[in-house]
């Protein structure tokens, strides 16, 4: 039996109760939130059902075998040797970020963000007691696409001015940018020079596209291992956001000491169902993940064709990871918030660019993890608004 994921028909998808399918009326095509339309990997579904049938839905007092499962996955996919003892579980990547920052900084300390970036980051930093310090990515516009890179000089200035942590998105959402290993090593050096911590959100790492090398932050140097904390989860790659399990990964005595300062409750927040799903996904889900990445690649191929045919004024750089496309509508005449116009007139819901910070004005983020029919219809509807 083929494990190649196939998105169900729209009428079946609309019976789902997740945010993607409950936020907008049925005449709207929802391509905004980062949820895939594909069915769960069978090995993951079986693991969840097994725990339900065992009536095993109590408190998750430990990380179970999630550390071992992640260590095996990291070794196979990225050549990263992880000590399972350095992996602990909690609710989701947002909790990893908040609780890691909470023990790494003092109240009021600056935390560097690199917009355009995942919108909740702007709220997670104050939740942890920090202050947002924006150092936007450097944007280099070509004839039809755009290259992005960390502004290391800007980060150095922010750290010199008192920021004591950097919240890194790697791969970077919404761009699908896999940061260069040399830049990551330099970032680690800057953090060490100023006594700062780097919290690296690597939730999209399992979705790095074939042929692209992902280098985990904690592997780039001894310095990175010392200053870094990494946030990982099976939730994005295996569509498990509601199952609630993420992993905090460290690789140094300093990192271990930080995590030891967190209350036990951080680990107790893990869902047993999410832990079982993560263990199954990371230990046995490679074949399904590879098939899913192949389908996602085909969706990006289709998107490129559709944009060239119907929206030639929209600038687009193919991402290196994930299933999210960052589309530049600044030359279409739809203004700084094209997503609002598109929702109102085309009945397609996209993630508004301004939510990712000021550099997102004129952009939208589009989710291609859907059927070819839905993606084609969405672009045709949008083209009708642009033209």
Per-residue pLDDT tens for 317-361?
999 999 999 999 999 999 999 999 999 999 999 999 999 999 999
Going 316 to 298 to 342 to 352, the CA torsion angle's sign is negative
**Residue linked to tokens 């300062």:** 261
Q: How confident is the model at residue 2 (pLDDT cuts 50, 70, 90)?
A: low
Residue 151 C-beta-side C-alpha neighbours within 13 Å: 18
What pLDDT is attached to residue 313? 95
Give the chain's length: 387
Taking only the tens place, the pLDDT of each residue in 30-87 is: 999 999 999 999 999 999 999 999 999 999 989 999 999 999 999 999 999 999 999 9
CA dist., res. 120 & res. 201, Å (int): 12
| Cα dihedral: 42, 45, 47, 50 (round 10) | -120
**Predicted pLDDT at 258:** 97
Question: 365: Cβ–Cβ under 8 A, 6 or more apart, which residues?
Answer: 32, 174, 324, 325, 326, 327, 350, 351, 353, 356
pTM attached to this predicted model = 0.96
At 234, is the pLDDT very low, low, confident or very high (cuts 50, 70, 90)? Answer: very high
Cβ partners under 8 Å of residue 358, min gap 6? 115, 134, 136
Per-residue model confidence as pLDDT tens digits over 256-294: 999 999 999 999 999 999 999 999 999 999 999 999 999
pLDDT at 140: 86
The structure tokens listed for 260 are 């030891």
Q: What is the mean pLDDT of the chain?
A: 97
> Pick from 205, 235, 206, 234: which is nearest to 217 by CA?
205
pLDDT higher than 80, residue 198: yes
| Residue 89 phi, psi (nearest 5) | -105, 155
How many Cβ atoms from other residues are within 10 Å of residue 319's Cβ? Answer: 26
Beta bridge partner(s), residue 363: 328
Query: Closest Cα to residue 198, out of 247, 233, 232, 163?
Result: 163
Question: What is the C-alpha to C-alpha distance for residues 247 and 250, in angstroms, rounded to an integer?
Answer: 10
Q: What is the token pair recorded at 5? A: 């994921």
Backbone angles phi, psi at 348, to 5 degrees: -125, 125
């Amino acid at each position: 039996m083929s494990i190649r994921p196939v998105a169900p028909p729209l009428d079946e998808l609309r019976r789902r109760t997740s945010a993607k399918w409950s936020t907008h009326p049925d005449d709207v095509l929802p391509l905004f939130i980062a949820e895939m339309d594909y069915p769960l990997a069978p090995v993951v579904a079986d693991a969840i059902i097994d725990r339900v049938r065992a009536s095993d839905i109590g408190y998750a007092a430990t990380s179970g075998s999630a550390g071992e499962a992640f260590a095996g996955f990291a070794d196979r996919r990225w050549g990263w040797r992880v000590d399972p003892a350095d992996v602990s579980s909690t609710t989701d990547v947002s909790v990893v970020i908040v609780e890691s920052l909470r023990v790494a900084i003092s109240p009021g300390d600056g935390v560097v963000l690199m917009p355009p970036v995942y919108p909740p980051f702007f709220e997670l930093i104050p939740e942890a007691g920090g202050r947002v310090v924006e150092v936007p990515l450097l944007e280099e516009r070509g004839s039809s696409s755009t290259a992005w890179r960390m502004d290391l000089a800007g980060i150095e200035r922010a750290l010199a001015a008192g920021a004591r942590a950097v919240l890194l998105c790697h791969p970077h959402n919404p761009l699908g940018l896999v940061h260069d290993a040399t830049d990551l090593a330099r970032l680690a050096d800057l953090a060490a020079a100023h006594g700062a911590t780097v919290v690296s959100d690597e939730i999209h790492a399992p979705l790095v596209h074939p042929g692209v090398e992902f280098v985990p932050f904690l592997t780039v140097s001894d310095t990175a291992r010392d200053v870094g904390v990494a946030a990982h989860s099976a939730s994005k790659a295996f569509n498990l956001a509601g199952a609630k399990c993420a992993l905090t990964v460290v690789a140094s005595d300093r990192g271990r000491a930080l995590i030891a300062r967190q209350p036990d409750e951080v680990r107790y927040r893990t869902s047993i169902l999410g832990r079982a799903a993560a263990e199954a996904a990371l230990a046995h889900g490679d074949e399904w993940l590879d098939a899913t990445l192949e389908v996602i690649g085909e969706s990006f191929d289709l998107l490129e064709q559709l944009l060239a045919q119907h929206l030639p004024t929209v600038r687009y750089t193919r991402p290196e990871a994930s299933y999210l496309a960052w589309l530049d509508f600044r030359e279409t005449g739809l203004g700084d918030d094209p997503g609002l116009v598109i929702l109102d007139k085309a009945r397609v819901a996209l993630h508004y660019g301004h939510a990712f910070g000021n550099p997102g004005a004129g952009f939208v983020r589009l989710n291609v993890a859907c059927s070819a029919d839905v993606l084609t219809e969405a672009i045709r509807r949008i083209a009708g608004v642009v033209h």
